[in-house]
Amino acid sequence: MHSLMRIPIFIAGLLLLTLTTGRAEQFLTGFEDVPLMPGIEPVVGSDVMFDSPVGRIVEAYATGTVTSKALRSYYRAALPQLGWTLTGPLKFSREGERLTIDLYGQSPLTVRFALRPAMD
């Protein structure tokens, strides 16, 4: 009897998990392994990409109604899981590249993502 009662709970849990993870994670155009935080959207046409003799240079903007505190927390948690090392406030490095995230305004919050070769 008790095992029959667990089946609906198990199914409800699976449904909830499917609904919360159903959104495919988006990544910024031109950035490998830099996810787009839920709640911000890329600014269409803002991305700039080119290769230089010392490496690639990429810049893009996104905007949304998230708080700067939430955005900082998100990227400080998400990027190290993707191989990025935190080197300063919203500054990261990985494989000879430096990623800087700058914040402007409040609501909406504008976010600038800039990737440059590390010049150490």
What are the pLDDT digits (tens) for 55-76?
Answer: 999 999 999 999 999 999 999 9
Flag whether 10 is in a domain: no
pLDDT classification of 20: cutoffs 50, 70, 90? very low
Distance CA 73, CA 86 (A): 12
Q: Is residue 11 part of a domain?
A: no
Residue 70 covered by a domain: yes
Of 72 and 54, the structure prediction assigns the larger pLDDT to: 72
**pLDDT value at 9 more than 80:** no
User: For residue 95, what are the domain limits?
Assistant: 26-117
Percent of the chain at pLDDT > 70 equals 78
Q: Total domain count for the chain?
A: 1
Q: Has residue 60 been placed in a domain?
A: yes
Tokens (6 digits) for 6:
């667990």
| Domain-located, residue 62 | yes
Mean pLDDT for the stretch of residues 99-113: 95
d(CA 71, CA 24): 19
Is the pLDDT score of 22 beyond 50?
Answer: no
Q: Tell me if 18 is assigned to some domain.
A: no
Q: Is 74 part of a structural domain of the chain? A: yes
In the predicted structure, residue 15 carries a pLDDT above the cut 50: no
Of 41 and 106, the structure prediction assigns the larger pLDDT to 41
In a domain, 6, yes or no: no
Q: Is the peptide bond before 108 cis (omega within 30 degrees of 0)?
A: yes
The pLDDT score that the predictor gives to residue 13 is: 46
- Record the tokens describing residue 118, joined without a space: 């590390």
Burial of 72 (0-12, 13-18, 19+ CB in 10 A): middle
